[in-house]
Chains A and B, each alone.
Chain A
Amino acid sequence: MKTYYNPEDLAQFENMGEDAKVLWEKFIAYYSQVFAEGALTAREKALIAFGVAHAVQCPYCIDSYTRTLLEMGVNQEQMIEAVHAAAAIRGGATLAHGMQAKNIIKSLEL
């Protein structure tokens, strides 16, 4: 069955460098540096990436970071808490934007 997302594409990701080699190399260098040990541990950064992957609903990133986190000793309970953190921010952001609607309503209503 054809779908917009193909799991095999994940392994082909580096093909994105074919038409823009310099930009790709800069991206990879940046990406590698971002996820290296720093003020945050590599595991903390991977958990953030995992949460963001759910927030932006990227199936490739969810696949990749779920496997990464298992190999970092993170269990399902901890990962689901990270998903809830992402969900809370998305939900909270939706609610917070309700203030815009309220402000517009306030400016227009008698």
Chain B
Amino acid sequence: MQNKQLLQLNGIPAFTGKEECKRFCMTHKKLDIMQVNMGRKCNLFCKHCHIEAGFDRPEVMNRAVMEACLQVFEKNHFTILDITGGAPEMNPDFQWFVEEAARRKIHTIVRTNLVILEEEGYRHLPELYARLKIEVVASLPYYTEKDTDRQRGKGVFSSCISMLQQLNRLGYGATPDLMLNLVYNPGGAFLPPDQISLTVDFKRKLYDLYGISFNNLYTLTNNPIGRFSEFLQRSGNMTAYLNRLVAAYNPATVENMMCRNQLSVGWDGLLYDCDFNQALGLTINGINHIQDLIDKPLTARKIVFGNHCYACTAGAGSSCGGAIA
């Protein structure tokens, strides 16, 4: 599956041949972000999902891996614990993990689809997030129901709006220690808009229509892998989309690619440069399991680049924190 996806990206100039990729092919010696993917289980079935998450996915991180993550985090002085999935909240040990991180005074980000927070068994989590001062990064592809539901499923938009209003009532988006950031990704085979101008639109529309406030909007580019790859193939857009990414390659983005400053941990403890490499099964160079890192120093490593990396370097660039150039 993964190899087939990489093969589909072979008809374009090699990303690794770019001058900047050779120049910035190493991670920093000291990394700031540990991104932990707690599993592929999710209550949604989004059309663009690069890890093809869904309710029937069995991959779930266990507590031993989480404990190893926290040990490696502290030992190597990471500064941000970035928790993602799937829907990370669906991991049975999720609450233990975020509470343990808070006890260790670790700044934690949870990437949520918001909808899960309205479901039975998860409704207490917004209050928990606020109490632990967790930074919430929430998916919201657009400020209209039609565009959001087309991508993420029927009823998702109204659920997101309701949850964003609840987060606002808890102080999110209004107080400095309760950060609420939104994530936009394009609803099809095209690049994201300028992050600053779209932020203005999102802020105006969401406040005027629903009274919602938030801190930052991150614009992300859809990576041509996973479920989005299937869409590109099915719709006959793959070649044109890859050519669009290549044509929009921006050398100024490479130095700031997120893989240079992070370690990505998979549900089973395997290590990757980013969540996209994780989806493709491309583990990092060197020691590639979190539990093997507990007693070993983390050193700068050569990043495993591929042609899917054009998605992070097109236009203003793309990362889990939005545009990078």
Whether B321 sits at the interface, judged by CB under 8 Å, is no
CB of B38 to closest CB in A, whole Å: 31
Chain B residue nearest to A74 in the complex (CB): B193
CB of A100 to closest CB in B, whole Å: 42
Q: Could you give, for residues 11-34 of chain A, a 1 whenever the CB lies within 8 Å of some chain B CB and a 0 otherwise?
A: 000000000000000000000000
Tell me what chain B mostly uses at the interface: helix, strand, loop, or mixed: loop
Interface range on chain A: under 10, 10 to 19, 20 to 34, or 35 or more? 10 to 19
Chain A residue nearest to B188 in the complex (CB): A70
Contact among A67, A73, A76, A77 with B193 in the assembled complex (CB-CB below 8 Å)? A73
Whether A64 sits at the interface, judged by CB under 8 Å, is no
CB of A90 to closest CB in B, whole Å: 27
Q: Number of B interface residues, CB 8 Å?
A: 16
Contact among B144, B191, B192, B194 with A75 in the assembled complex (CB-CB below 8 Å)? B144
Q: Is the Cβ of B193 less than 8 Å from the Cβ of A71?
A: yes
CB of B310 to closest CB in A, whole Å: 16
- Most B CB contacts (10 A, CB to CB) among A43, A70, A73, A76 go to A73
- Most B CB contacts (10 A, CB to CB) among A41, A72, A76 go to A72
Chain A residue nearest to B195 in the complex (CB): A73
Q: Is the Cβ of A71 less than 8 Å from the Cβ of B142?
A: no
Q: Is the Cβ of A73 less than 8 Å from the Cβ of B188?
A: no
C-alpha spacing A72/B186, complex, angstroms = 10
Q: Is the Cβ of B190 less than 8 Å from the Cβ of A73?
A: no
A-B contact pairs, 15 of them (CB 8 A): A70-B186, A70-B188, A70-B190, A71-B186, A71-B190, A71-B191, A71-B192, A72-B194, A72-B197, A73-B193, A73-B201, A75-B142, A75-B147, A75-B187, A77-B146
Q: What is the interface of chain B, defined by CB distance below 8 A to chain A?
A: 142, 144, 146-147, 184, 186-188, 190-194, 197-198, 201
Q: What is the interface of chain A, defined by CB distance below 8 A to chain B?
A: 41, 43, 67, 70-73, 75-77
